[in-house]
Amino acid sequence: MSWLNIAANFLRDAITSSNESTEPVQEAPPPANIAEVMGLLNRHRSEIDKNFEAVVGMLNAQKARHLKAMQIQRRWNYGLTAALVLVTTLVIVVLWRR
């Protein structure tokens, strides 16, 4: 797959994904103490971790699809090679007997 294809898939998934899990942005005054800052940082880190897990899940699914397609392609290649060897052998036998 090309990078443009991957980018288009990410963009399409981002556009079509539902925003049910996102929380509405709340306008709040800046935090007054370190505990509030740490709380904001921890929430931000958890959102980033969740987003990374989603990206990793999509990449793993894409890798699984790619590996399955490669297995199917390999089977076809073996089958076509066997058929080519068989036909070549038959042609040689037929021409040899003439």
pLDDT tens profile 26-72: 676 777 788 888 888 999 999 999 999 999 999 999 999 999 999 99
| 24 within domain boundaries | no
Mean pLDDT score of the chain: 86
> Which of the two residues, 27 and 5, has the higher pLDDT score?
5
Q: What is the pLDDT of residue 76?
A: 97
Residue 66, burial from CB neighbour count under 10 angstroms (0-12, 13-18, 19+):
exposed
Domain that holds residue 89: 34-98
pLDDT of residue 73: 97
Q: How many domains does the chain contain in total?
A: 1
Token look-up 């556009």 returns 15
Give domain status of residue 72, yes or no.
yes
Residue 78 lies in a domain: yes
Burial class (CB in 10 A: 0-12, 13-18, 19+), 97: exposed
